[in-house]
Amino acid sequence: MTSITSRPRNCHRLTRTFARLCASLTEEAEAIGWYEQRLAVEADPEALAVMRDAQGEEFKHFSMDLEFLLRRTPSWRAIAEGVLFRAGDIVDHGEQAEAEALGDDGDDGSGGAASSDDGTGSLGIGSLKGAAR
């Protein structure tokens, strides 16, 4: 399997696919939130049932998008494995998992875990300039 962070720097196709799945993940999360808000105010039981079913679809879509992205991003997966489905303090788990995955204090200065693993902190966004869509 090709990792997004181990790909050749000029492999725009993988980066575009990765970015599309990131956008999809965002959209699925937004849909989950929208259904949550609609469910909170809906009184009609049949409408509630329909919307609960639809929200379940969005849970599935979000989970599939996330799994795809984690399979393509080993450092993200390593951090996720340290955080997800664990009891206890979420922030502590996150800090520990980030430090273990990145091999330092976990603060790479990028403000997030999505930076590349090439040590530059670059997301490779600049390499997309002029790339065919």
Binding footprint of Fe ion on the chain (CB under 5 A): 28, 58, 61
Q: What six digits make up the tokens of 34? A: 């929208």
Cβ-based nearer residue to Fe ion, 19 or 31: 31
Query: Least distance in Å: CB of 133 to Fe ion?
Result: 23
Query: Least distance in Å: CB of 30 to Fe ion?
Result: 10
Cβ-based nearer residue to Fe ion, 58 or 98: 58
Cβ-based nearer residue to Fe ion, 67 or 118: 67
Cβ-based nearer residue to Fe ion, 54 or 70: 54
Query: Least distance in Å: CB of 24 to Fe ion?
Result: 8
DSSP readout, 34-97? HHHHHHHH---HHHHHHHHHHHHHHHHHHHHHHHHHHHH-HHHHHHHHHHTT--S-HHHHHHHH
User: What is the spatial distance between Cα 69 and Cα 58, in angstroms, rounded to a whole number?
Assistant: 16
User: What is the spatial distance between Cα 62 and Cα 70, in angstroms, rounded to a whole number?
Assistant: 12
Query: Least distance in Å: CB of 16 to Fe ion?
Result: 20
